[in-house]
Amino acid sequence: MSKRPADSDRIVLEWTPARMLSRLDGDAELAQQLAAIFVDEYPRMLERLRAAIGEGSADEVRRAAHALKGSVANFIDAGPTATAFELENMGRAGQIDGAAAALERLDQELEALSECLRQFQSKGAAPGRS
C-alpha cells in the first residue's frame, strides 16, 4: 500500500482498545459495534468531503468535515479528529485553498485508524481491557 507519514504512525500508538473501552465505560459490545460502523461508513464520509472540496463548496466542506469529525471522535481526540476539525474550520472561514493537502493527510490518518479498528474487531474487545 501507500507509505504512511509519521503522523499516521502516531495514530496507531495513540489509539488503543483499552482507551476506547474506557471512553465507553467498558462496554465491549458497543465498542465492537462502533468500530464496525465506522470502518464501513468512513469511506463514504470521506468521499463526501472529497467531492465538496472538488466542487469548491466551502459550506459543504464544513458540513462533511463536521460529520466525519464527530464520527472519528468516538475513537481518538488527536490525529484525524484534529485534521477533520481543521477542514471544518477552513470551510467555516470560506478558505478551502489548503483543503486538498489536509484531505490527503486525513485520508492517511483514517486508513491507519481503520486498520487498528479492523484488528480490534478481529481480535475482539477483551484484550487490553483494564
**pLDDT attached to residue 2:** 43
What is the identity of the amino acid at 108? Q
How far, in Å, CA of 43 to CA of 111, rounded?
Answer: 9
Q: What are phi and psi of 128, to 5 degrees?
A: 80, 5
pLDDT tens sequence across 83-128 = 999 999 999 999 999 999 999 999 999 999 999 999 999 987 544 4
| Residue spans per domain, the chain | 22-119
The burial class, CB within 10 Å (0-12 / 13-18 / 19+), for 2 is exposed
Return the percent helix, strand and coil in the chain, to nearest 5: 75, 0, 25
Asked if 62 contacts 88 with a C-beta cutoff of 8 angstroms, the reply is yes
The C-alpha cell that represents 70 in the structure block? 464527530
CATH 1.20.120.160 for the 22-119 domain, yes or no: yes
**pLDDT attached to residue 130:** 34
State the DSSP H helix or E strand holding residue 90, giving kind and residue range, or none if neither.
Answer: helix 80-93
pLDDT tens sequence across 13-29 = 588 888 889 888 999 99
In this predicted structure, the answer to whether residue 9 has a pLDDT above a threshold of 90 is: no
Report yes or no on whether pTM surpasses 0.95.
Answer: no
pLDDT tens sequence across 44-91 = 999 999 999 999 999 999 999 999 999 999 898 889 999 999 999 999
**pLDDT attached to residue 7:** 55
**pLDDT attached to residue 4:** 44
